[in-house]
Structure 1
Amino acid sequence: MNYVLVLNCGSSSLKFAVVNAVDGDQPLSGMAECLGTADASINFKANGQKTQQSLEAGGHTAALSALVAFLQTQEALAQNIIAVGHRVVHGGEYFRDSLILDDNAIERIRECSVLAPLHNPAHLLGIEAAQAAFPALPQVAVFDTAFHQQMPDYAYLYPLPYEHYKELGVRRYGFHGTSYRYVTGETARLMNRPANELKLIIAHLGNGASVAAIRNGHSVDTTMGMTPLEGVVHGTRSGSIDPAIIAYLAHRLNKNVDEVDAILWKESGLLGLSGMSNDCRTIEETAQNGNERAILTLEIYSYRLAKAVGELMIPLGGLDALVFTGGIGENSTLIRERTLSWLGFLGLKIDSTANDAAIRGKAGKITQGEQAAAWVVPTNEELMIARDSAELAKAEVKS
């Protein structure tokens, strides 16, 4: 009895998987999309077979009801689910660890909605629907921000009036924490060294991208800030810019703050620079055909990533390994190569054969030498959520 139903709820989507908390096997997975619209549907993948059904404009409750009905056709699997694990983006300063949800925790998540208005309200919809659909199962929240809650104050405070932190919660929170926890453990295992002895910089690169400094198994600094907008170049988000640009664009374009904010979140990053796509694969293909703007976009991405790595060496006081993970980090041999070319002064000399081999879920060391090394380590946030949920559920039964 080690199966956990892992839910990742968005404003109009619901990604789900039944995960074995021991070995990561996923006998059932799928996604509900376009929730609340006429195109709402849910897709299931079970035992290698895919099926789809319409939800007839249904929302999250309809999606969970469809999932319950499907699980009833998988009786042996359904009987072995011991908990529901929810990915929650923002836990503010309230949560340092995963926990079994109760009314107080749910209210705290609701309070954090002001810090994550695009994410936390959707998570709450998923939690409410899951409680109704699976009333007998423990509901566990696993927070993206929790792993970074041990950062020192000099790393998380902004140089703004201090009362903005005390009264409004303005500070660096960091994200992708569940991924960082998993990859830290996997990197230590692959290097055959204890995590509490390692100085790691991990680059989680996907449509949302961030980098974190991990010392002795703990996050000591990271590039994302109060929101996931700050830091390195993202798919559609700008990353860090001069804050005065916001007022400048508002005046020159005759837009309000919300309209400029939408540009920074949805029209910038790889999409804004390239003018063609937020998908790194598309940009790389175009660059190979000689498109100068695509080539420049990839160089900006790699350059700013390398700068972030250099900055994050300061809190570490050294480096044992630079680790690439996430969709781009695990599969773009070009981004890894260009980033490491900027970091050659650290002795990180790429092994082209190893770099080309470390794609599509394969881990491996991609540099030569015995000093600091670069690695590719695939992440598995669903397994991390399943592990936390199973551990908490079993502890509750024992108590």
Structure 2
Amino acid sequence: MIILTLNCGSSSVKYQVYDWANKDVLGSGVVERVGQSQSDLEYKSKGKDELVAKRPCPTHKEAIAWVMESILDPTYGCITDINQVTAVGHRIVHGGSVFTQSVEITDEVLAQFKKVEPLAPLHNPANIMGVEAARALLPKVTHCAILDTAWHQTMPDTAFMYALPHAWYDKHQVRRYGFHGSSFLYTSKRAALLLGKPANQTNLVICHIGNGASACAVKNGVSVDTSMGMTPLEGLVMGSRSGDIDPAIMPYMAREAGMSIDQLDAALSKESGLLGITGRFTDRRDVEDGVAKGEADCILAQNMEIYRIKKYIGAYAAVVGPELDAIVFTAGVGEFGADIRAGALIGMEHLGIKVDLAKNKLAMTRNAETCISADDSKVKVFVIPTDEEIVMTEDTVAISNGTYKPHTEYRYIFEEASYVNKAREAGLPKDLTKRPGLDKIIAQPKK
């Protein structure tokens, strides 16, 4: 089986082609700046030169067509016939409260995704457009939705409900949903393997720290709380998102500064976080450079991010309880941000968390799962490179052949000790993007 996975962002399409029979990544790429006057494509197949190209992609429809063209390219592509693709996995950011697991996409399922578009106005429309374009180009294959929100559907109502008028929940679906589900699923299963415990007996606090960032409390192998809320805006300090704030700030600024709802929404999502504090940077490397130069705004930004992560680790350690097995860091900053990890963990010895600063400093490679806790730390601390694509791929395979079960009943290939990410073996970059910001950490790791 050849599986194509598509991750359509608001202005991008990330994709990967996977040979399931040989458990091998054949190629991966990204189309960026979709909707702008000129779009960029970067794509690399195993054993071939990288393809870098430009052309206009007014919508995701044109971008998906370009994706298909690249994987079939006689010089750069990884397959020779589009009919070799047997199934397509699509990342869907928001599934509302209807979907508790990955699902085959039918007309009825697609209609449900459209109903919850207002809950993720930046992400779901792009996700849906990608689905429609891919279904049009590949109408005879199975298309599957892998939902960010599905992982968190195990949260109890005490965690997912807000202390708001109940009618808002009944009529408008206002509740906590959580995101980064595929990343949390992957890293929780890998952490269980590293701990030598069954996944359903593993207790963790996972910190997915990238441009978007969230924390998740995992008890007995399932999500019981998470920092992102109804949208990806709540929780940790992020690249350009505010994270937690006093909600009264919004009506205050509307009155004091005459800001509209759309202006407030844009400010919280696109002009806040590290960018808001520094006025310049979303990239943690730029912030680190500023810290090294003694720049007060960068020092404040880094300290605020560290403090918020520390707060959530402490809160979720309390939620998980004394059986806490490990803290896990993942995603671009989680994997490469040694100073941020150290800052968040120092001083938590009273919770049984003791970081080894030398190990932490050395844990700067995307190719290795690393333990950075001290030998006498009661709670382990792991750095685990995430692999959301393999979750999307395997769910798609299982749905296609009728073997799919929820993650609580299903054993993934990456839960096996022998699992090796062949994308890394083959030298395929995990993220081909070169856009400014956090992604530079991934594309060009520090030496």
TM-score by length of 2: 0.85
Query: Does the Cα contact within 8 Å between 2:237 and 2:243 map onto a contact in 1?
Result: yes
Q: Whole-Å Cα distance in 1 between the matches of residues 121 and 244 of structure 2?
A: 20
CA shift in 2, pair 1:60/1:67, >3 Å: same
Aligned partner of 1:226 in structure 2 is 230
Query: Does the Cα contact within 8 Å between 1:71 and 1:77 map onto a contact in 2?
Result: no
Q: Whole-Å Cα distance in 2 between the matches of residues 24 and 110 of structure 1?
A: 34
Q: Whole-Å Cα distance in 1 between the matches of residues 11 and 41 of structure 2?
A: 12
Paired amino acid for 2:387: N
Are 1:329 and 2:319 matched, yes or no?
Answer: no
- Name the stretch that deviates more: 77-86 or 190-199: 77-86
Task: State which of 374, 383, 386 in structure 2 corresponds to 1:379.
Answer: 386
Task: State which of 346, 351, 371 in structure 1 corresponds to 2:356.
Answer: 351
Q: Whole-Å Cα distance in 2 between the matches of residues 112 and 55 of structure 1?
A: 32
Q: Once superposed, what is the RMSD of the aligned Cα atoms?
A: 1.8
Query: Does the Cα contact within 8 Å between 1:82 and 1:138 map onto a contact in 2?
Result: yes
Alpha-carbon shift at residue 23 of structure 1 (Å): 7.5
CA shift in 2, pair 1:149/1:23, >3 Å: farther
- Name the stretch that deviates more: 149-158 or 362-371: 362-371
Task: State which of 205, 212, 235 in structure 2 corresponds to 1:208.
Answer: 212
Once the two structures are superposed, the pairs formed by residues 250-261 of structure 1 within 5 Å of their partners are: 250-261=254-265
Alpha-carbon shift at residue 75 of structure 1 (Å): 3.5
SS at the partner of 2:14? strand
Aligned partner of 1:317 in structure 2 is 321
Are 1:189 and 2:193 matched, yes or no?
Answer: yes
Are 1:149 and 2:148 matched, yes or no?
Answer: no
Once the two structures are superposed, the pairs formed by residues 78-117 of structure 1 within 5 Å of their partners are: 80-117=84-121
Are 1:282 and 2:286 matched, yes or no?
Answer: yes
Aligned partner of 1:120 in structure 2 is 124
Count of aligned pairs: 396
Alpha-carbon shift at residue 307 of structure 1 (Å): 0.6
- Unaligned segments of structure 1, at least 5 residues: none
Aligned partner of 1:55 in structure 2 is 55
Are 1:393 and 2:383 matched, yes or no?
Answer: no
Alpha-carbon shift at residue 46 of structure 1 (Å): 1.5
Alpha-carbon shift at residue 18 of structure 1 (Å): 0.9
Are 1:267 and 2:271 matched, yes or no?
Answer: yes
Query: Does the Cα contact within 8 Å between 1:24 and 1:383 map onto a contact in 2?
Result: no
- Name the stretch that deviates more: 381-390 or 273-282: 273-282
| CA deviation map 1:145-178 (0-9, x unaligned) | 0000111111111011111101110000011111
| CA deviation map 1:63-111 (0-9, x unaligned) | 2223323333344585543210000000001100101100110001001
Q: Whole-Å Cα distance in 2 between the matches of residues 64 and 124 of structure 1?
A: 12
Q: Whole-Å Cα distance in 2 between the matches of residues 77 and 377 of structure 1?
A: 35
Query: Does the Cα contact within 8 Å between 2:354 and 2:377 map onto a contact in 1?
Result: no
Paired amino acid for 1:167: K
Q: Whole-Å Cα distance in 1 between the matches of residues 85 and 286 of structure 2?
A: 39
Aligned partner of 1:338 in structure 2 is 343
Paired amino acid for 1:387: E
Query: Does the Cα contact within 8 Å between 1:82 and 1:390 map onto a contact in 2?
Result: no
| CA deviation map 1:284-343 (0-9, x unaligned) | 111012112211211111111111111112321221111101110010000010000142
Query: Does the Cα contact within 8 Å between 1:303 and 1:342 map onto a contact in 2?
Result: no
Alpha-carbon shift at residue 22 of structure 1 (Å): 7.2
- Unaligned segments of structure 2, at least 5 residues: 405-447
Paired amino acid for 2:91: R
Once the two structures are superposed, the pairs formed by residues 28-43 of structure 1 within 5 Å of their partners are: 28-43=27-42
Q: Whole-Å Cα distance in 2 between the matches of residues 360 and 80 of structure 1?
A: 34
Paired amino acid for 2:99: F
Alpha-carbon shift at residue 262 of structure 1 (Å): 1.1
Query: Does the Cα contact within 8 Å between 1:22 and 1:387 map onto a contact in 2?
Result: no
Alpha-carbon shift at residue 347 of structure 1 (Å): 2.9
- Name the stretch that deviates more: 86-95 or 269-278: 269-278
Query: Does the Cα contact within 8 Å between 1:213 and 1:221 map onto a contact in 2?
Result: yes
CA shift in 2, pair 1:222/1:56, >3 Å: closer
| CA deviation map 1:122-147 (0-9, x unaligned) | 11110010001112211000000000
Query: Does the Cα contact within 8 Å between 2:240 and 2:282 map onto a contact in 1?
Result: yes
Q: Whole-Å Cα distance in 2 between the matches of residues 22 and 332 of structure 1?
A: 36
Task: State which of 367, 374, 379 in structure 1 corresponds to 2:373.
Answer: 367
SS at the partner of 2:285? helix
Query: Does the Cα contact within 8 Å between 2:27 and 2:71 map onto a contact in 1?
Result: no
Aligned partner of 1:180 in structure 2 is 184
SS at the partner of 2:25? coil
Q: Whole-Å Cα distance in 2 between the matches of residues 293 and 23 of structure 1?
A: 50
CA shift in 2, pair 1:198/1:179, >3 Å: same
CA shift in 2, pair 1:258/1:61, >3 Å: closer
Aligned partner of 1:297 in structure 2 is 301
SS at the partner of 2:317? helix
Aligned partner of 2:142 in structure 1 is 138
Query: Does the Cα contact within 8 Å between 1:21 and 1:383 map onto a contact in 2?
Result: no
TM-score by length of 1: 0.95
Aligned partner of 1:45 in structure 2 is 44
Task: State which of 155, 158, 173 in structure 2 corresponds to 1:169.
Answer: 173
CA shift in 2, pair 1:256/1:23, >3 Å: farther
| CA deviation map 1:210-230 (0-9, x unaligned) | 001001110001111001100
Alpha-carbon shift at residue 363 of structure 1 (Å): 1.3
Alpha-carbon shift at residue 359 of structure 1 (Å): 1.8
Identity of aligned residues (%): 40
CA shift in 2, pair 1:344/1:249, >3 Å: farther
Alpha-carbon shift at residue 365 of structure 1 (Å): 1.0
